[in-house]
Amino acid sequence: MNRREWLSILVVSLFSGALGTIFYTKALGMVQYIQFSVVVLLQQLQPIWAIAAAAIILKEKISGKFIKWAILGIIAAYLISFRDLKINFVSGSGQITAAVLALMAGFVWAVSTSFSKVVLKKVSFLTATFLRFILAPVFAFLFILGEKQLPALTKINPQQWLMLLAITFSTGMVALVIYYYGLKKTPARVSTIAELVWPASAIFIDYFLYKSILSPTQILGVILLFIAIYHVSKFSK
């Protein structure tokens, strides 16, 4: 790989492997401020960020129709984020922070998609997966040092380490290999629609696990979001 490909894999490892995971996990940990399904649904704006990033990084053209559906997606995000269009001023800052973290996770993952395509032009999806898994922990460790959280690692017991390793090498690595294989072989519009199964299931998980249901305005937001993402996916190459 040349310098451009190496820079791209570094960006992917930093954005997707470290920052995206940190933002998303932090947002999921704030369910006292925001519904679990809302965090998942906000992340679905990722295709909009991905196509915008592709226009900048890969020099792909953006049409006026895309902008129209992107605006609809952003409106939908507002409807989903704030139940009945109201901010809880008692815990409003936490609610906004959780929503922003979810949006930032989708944004950095979307940017990583464009950089991943640069790498996949030169290497196989297995090689890309290997490089990301090697480099992402380095960035994550630097964040731990920066936040002075290194002592917290000593509090993780052996059983918890085994569970973390099991998650990493099963759902983490397997899912990533499948993702890169699909990214290289499957049209973006097909994968985008398929990925909507996850946010749809999150609504049911939210109900059965957290006993939380979406308000009428949030349901309207979900419908508008799915419509927007469906049409946005048509612009994916």
pLDDT by residue (tens digit) across 9-22?
999 999 988 898 89
pLDDT tens for 61-98 read 777 787 888 888 888 888 887 776 666 555 556 778 88
pLDDT of residue 197 exceeding 70, the answer is no
- Residue 188 — pLDDT band, cuts 50, 70, 90? low
- Residue 196 — pLDDT band, cuts 50, 70, 90? low
Contact 232, 73 (CB under 8 A): yes
Contact 62, 55 (CB under 8 A): yes
Please provide the average confidence, as pLDDT, over all residues in the chain. 80
Tokens describing residue 67: 């902008």
CB crowding 82-111: b at 16 or more within 10 Å, else e: bbeeeeeeeeeeebbbbbebbbbbbbbbbb
Place of tokens 């973006």: 188
Looking at the structure of the chain, the number of domains it has is 1
pLDDT of residue 236 exceeding 60, the answer is no
Place of tokens 């957290």: 210
pLDDT of residue 57 exceeding 60, the answer is yes
- Residue 190 — pLDDT band, cuts 50, 70, 90? low
Question: Model-level pTM?
Answer: 0.71
Mean pLDDT in residue range 108-120? 83
pLDDT tens for 127-186 read 887 888 889 889 989 999 988 888 888 888 999 999 888 877 776 667 767 776 776 666
Tokens describing residue 99: 């929503």
Place of tokens 């996990």: 25
Domain region containing 74: 3-233
pLDDT of residue 235 exceeding 70, the answer is no
The stretches of 169-215 forming alpha helices (DSSP H) are 173-185, 188-195, 197-210
